[in-house]
Amino acid sequence: MTNSGAAQGSRKFKLPEETSVLVALIVLIGIVGALRPTFLKPTNLLNLAASYAIAALLAGCIVFLLSMGEIDLSFGWILNLSAVLAGISMIAGAPVWVGIVIGVAAGTAMGALNGVLTVFMRLPLIIVTLGTASVFQGVSLISNNSGSVVPTDERITQHVFFRALGGSIDTPVPIILIFVVLCFIGLHLLLHKTRFGYRILAIGSNPEAARLAGIPTKKIKIQVCALMGAVSGVGGVLFLGFRGAVDPSTGGQMLLPVVAAAIIGGTPLSGGAGTIWGSLIGAMIVGVIGVGVVFIGIDAVWGTLVTGLVILFAIGVDQVVRVRKKRAS
């Protein structure tokens, strides 16, 4: 946790652990805003938020896996394949809502497959998903002959789902943002206020102790993987609606920003702890860096480098804080 010193001070007056990342986000926005005041225009900020909403949603969900001490490398391709399957079925004549259900169901199934493989092969999820990522990508390429999926039929493009996400319906705040924030509330409650979440954190803290306490560790692992798949499926469907098309590379570049968002947000890789809200703020930080670099006029090529440095910085601070805490106690 990237706690500031204040957070560990007196117990009664404890700042939430996300405070330091939030401050970092505000500082970053301030820096870019000071250099380019147009950056601070609400519409711009909202558009920026909307374009990073899907990555943020996935970051919120990867926190579940990190809390359990696992990591999924395949979610980008789950997103891709879910979107492709949803798009293809819509083009083939299925009603839009059926396409949506197909996309989400396919994502859930892929996630569950990851979970079943990791449990029965007794391998870490990172290794399993190293393989399944390519499998999902491959199936996606085959199912649409390496081409883009672009629904053009008016029956589809004029459907309320596409119009709402695509921005044809005027709302003060982009619909996708509202939806993602609602998802975040749900994810937060699920991780921190339910037995399911307690079990996830218990497995991440000490898998063997969790097993001995009677926690069904295998079942929970499969469930969390399926949840990651389902959320990736939702992400895929949102992407389809938001952009109106899916191309073969969609999702392939998501791994870094999503995992970075969760780590910057304060979720350790070691398991046993996680913050959903932190990952949302982390995703916004990644977004501000990515867009801000362009805004200031630095070549976009630098965006990736800066993101990398910020991750190193965030992890470094996290580690220093943790070592100090340990020494203090």
Partner 1 sequence: MSSILAQGVISVRSLSKRYGGVQALDNLNLDLERNIVHAIVGENGAGKSTFMKILSGGVTPDSGSISIDGVSYPEITVQLARKLGIGIMYQELRLFQHRDVLTNLFPDREIRRGPFIARKPMEEIAKPVLESIGLDVDLYATLGDLAISDQQLIELARVIIEKPKLLILDEPTSALNARESDRLLELVRQLPSQGTTVLYVSHRLDEVFAVANQISVMRNGSLVFSRPTNELDRASVIAGIVGEEKSARISSGAKSQSITTNTTTILEVKNLKNYGQIQDVNLTVNSGEIVGVAGLIGSGADELLETLFGAKPKSGGSIFLEGKERSTLSPQNSVRDKVALVPADRKRVGLMMERSVSDNLSHVAVGGHKHGTAIVTRSGLATRAKRLVERFGVKTEHVDIRVGNLSGGNQQKVVIGKWLEINPKLVLLDDPTRGVDIGAKSELFRLIREIADSGKGVLFRSTEIAELTNLCDRIYVIKNGETRREVSEVDEAELIKLINE
Q: 119 with 219: CB under 8 angstroms? A: no
| Residues 242-266: b if buried by 16+ CB within 10 A, e if exposed | bbbebbbebbeebbebbbbbbbbbb
Q: How far apart are CB 229 and partner 1 at their closest, in Å? A: 22
Q: 279 with 190: CB under 8 angstroms? A: no
How many residues form the binding site for partner 1 (CB under 8 A)?
25
Q: Cα–Cα distance between 179 and 187 in angstroms, integer? A: 12
Q: How far apart are CB 67 and partner 1 at their closest, in Å? A: 12
Task: Compare residues 155 and 325 and give the one whose CB is closer to partner 1.
Answer: 325
Task: Compare residues 204 and 229 and give the one whose CB is closer to partner 1.
Answer: 204
Task: Compare residues 177 and 315 and give the one whose CB is closer to partner 1.
Answer: 315
Q: 296 with 36: CB under 8 angstroms? A: yes
Hey, which residues between 2 and 61 contact partner 1 (CB under 8 A)? 11
Cα end-to-end distance, the chain, whole Å = 16
159 phi, psi to nearest 5 deg: -65, 145
Q: How far apart are CB 113 and partner 1 at their closest, in Å? A: 24
Q: How far apart are CB 11 and partner 1 at their closest, in Å? A: 7
Q: Cα–Cα distance between 135 and 147 in angstroms, integer? A: 17
329 binds partner 1 (CB under 8 A): yes
Task: Compare residues 69 and 287 and give the one whose CB is closer to partner 1.
Answer: 69
Q: How far apart are CB 199 and partner 1 at their closest, in Å? A: 5
Q: How far apart are CB 16 and partner 1 at their closest, in Å? A: 13
Count other Cβ atoms within 10 Å, centred on residue 197: 20
63 binds partner 1 (CB under 8 A): no
Task: Compare residues 122 and 195 and give the one whose CB is closer to partner 1.
Answer: 195
Site string for partner 1, 178-217 (x = CB under 8 A): --------------xxxxxxxx-xx--xx-xxxxxxxxx-
Task: Compare residues 211 and 243 and give the one whose CB is closer to partner 1.
Answer: 211
Residues 6+ apart with CB under 8 A from 267: 63, 66, 67, 273, 274, 275, 278, 279
272 binds partner 1 (CB under 8 A): yes
Q: Cα–Cα distance between 225 and 66 in angstroms, integer? A: 11
Q: 90 with 152: CB under 8 angstroms? A: no
234 binds partner 1 (CB under 8 A): no
Q: How far apart are CB 108 and partner 1 at their closest, in Å? A: 20
Site residues for partner 1 per CB under 8 A: 11, 192-199, 201-202, 205-206, 208-216, 272-273, 329
